[in-house]
Amino acid sequence: MKASKHSPRALLCSVLLSIPLFGQAETVNWANWLTGQISKHPEVLAATEQAAARKEDAEASEQPLYNPELSVGADRTGSENNFEAGLSQTIDWSDQQGALQEKAKLIRLSAQAGLSEAVLTQTSESLFALVEWRATTLFEEIAESQQQRLDALLDQVEQRQQAGDLGRADAELLFLNLSRQLSEVAQAKAAVDRAETQVQERLPDWRPQDGGIPEYIWPALESQIGEADLLSHPSIAVARAEWQVLKSEAEVARRKATASPTVGLSGGRDGGENVVGLTFSIPLNVRNNYSAEIRAANRRALEAEARFQALYRKQQYDLAGARASWKRYDKQLRRWKELSQGRVQRSADLLERQWQVGDLSTSEYLQALGQRAESLKTGIELEKLAQLGLIELLSQSGELITPFQ
């Protein structure tokens, strides 16, 4: 795998596409749309440029360590013109370039892992925002439906009150419920507005008419759940690559402490005679043997290793927690669906008929309508939590985005 060929689009194209799916064409289209949107996000663009810069650093690290040096000199002694030209080259005696080339490979891996981490973060946050937006729109629909039902009920109550079928207290009770519902509708609409801005911030071209995450996407996501190799998780890969880079820097520092000799060859004329010279010089690391730099580089490598191990350990626990949380929400959602079985949707008309024939008082009817609305909200909330839990699980496992091999 050549990391330099990976781009945010290539990274995102594998989201949801690594397994056979029903509705494959629709899934591909939506995944491609999501790919394009996340690729436009400034955070991903910044990460792309950062990765490109680091790859340039890697290329610079692979270049020859020492350039040859040209020296030219001239003087005049009496009537004689003297001149000298020389060429010298420092020899990489300890093969620092070999260590730097190994460092360059690790820098490229680190750069690609950093880009993958940015894409993974934006992908999960975008899906989170879409789930939240869908839930708020459903809450808004319930609030508006409840308000419409209360408005219609108010007309019926006023008619029945004029006919002497209901007392004034029923109308007052309904008015109080309707007043409270107006506030709930306003809050629901405000929540939708906030959710819309959150989605638009992450997906630049998204509009409410584009909708949330399509239903056919969820089976694809769910089917990817399994034991993941956390070492390939972008966050872990970044930490591991940075440790390896610092480890290679420690090796570079060790080799750099070894003196590199310089060999030179010169020629010219001096006093009318041709002269040829050979020079050899080598630094004497007597006053400073650079051992402190070596120790510091080793310490930084050990620190990075410890941080990598700590992050890897934390990721294992985070993954276990995310898996347990998702399973809990998914189980409760399935249980709610079994219990409701369409009862909540049909209950409104049944309650109204019972109120019409007098089996329910107005107070009981209003209370039952409120309980019905709360049950619907419970289902939406459970679905939202289950979906958010699934996205979090796939994010923690690194399965939400897998680069092409």
What band does 341 get if pLDDT is binned at 50, 70 and 90?
A: confident
Among 35, 37, 42, smallest CA distance to 11 is for 35
E strand or H helix at 75, and its extent? strand 69-77
Q: What value does the mean pLDDT take over residues 299-325?
A: 93
What is the per-residue pLDDT for 5?
47
- 233-248 pLDDT per residue, tens: 999 999 999 999 999 9
What is the per-residue pLDDT for 165?
64
What band does 162 get if pLDDT is binned at 50, 70 and 90?
A: low
Burial class (CB in 10 A: 0-12, 13-18, 19+), 111: buried
Cβ contacts of 221 within 8 Å, gap of 6 or more: 16, 390, 391, 394
Distance CA 112, CA 294 (A): 28
Residue ranges per structural domain of the chain: 42-205+228-281+310-397
What is the per-residue pLDDT for 3?
39
Distance CA 119, CA 125 (A): 10
What is the per-residue pLDDT for 314?
93
Distance CA 396, CA 312 (A): 11
- Structure tokens given for 184: 């709930």
Q: Are 273 and 82 in contact (CB under 8 A)?
A: no
Q: What value does the mean pLDDT take over residues 191-198?
A: 95
Among 398, 6, 85, 53, smallest CA distance to 229 is for 398
What band does 164 get if pLDDT is binned at 50, 70 and 90?
A: low
CA 338 from chain center: how many Å? 35
**What are φ and ψ of residue 303, in 5° steps?**
-65, -45
Q: What value does the mean pLDDT take over residues 94-119?
A: 92
- DSSP letters, 258-278, are S---EEEEEEEEETTEEEEEE
What band does 369 get if pLDDT is binned at 50, 70 and 90?
A: confident
Among 250, 257, 238, 293, smallest CA distance to 110 is for 238
- Structure tokens given for 199: 């989605």
What is the per-residue pLDDT for 227?
56
The reply to whether the predicted model has a pTM over 0.85 is no
Average pLDDT, the chain: 84
Distance CA 332, CA 339 (A): 10
CATH number of 42-205+228-281+310-397: 1.20.1600.10
Q: What is the DSSP letter of 401?
A: -
- 379-404 pLDDT per residue, tens: 999 999 999 999 999 899 888 875 32
What is the per-residue pLDDT for 22?
41
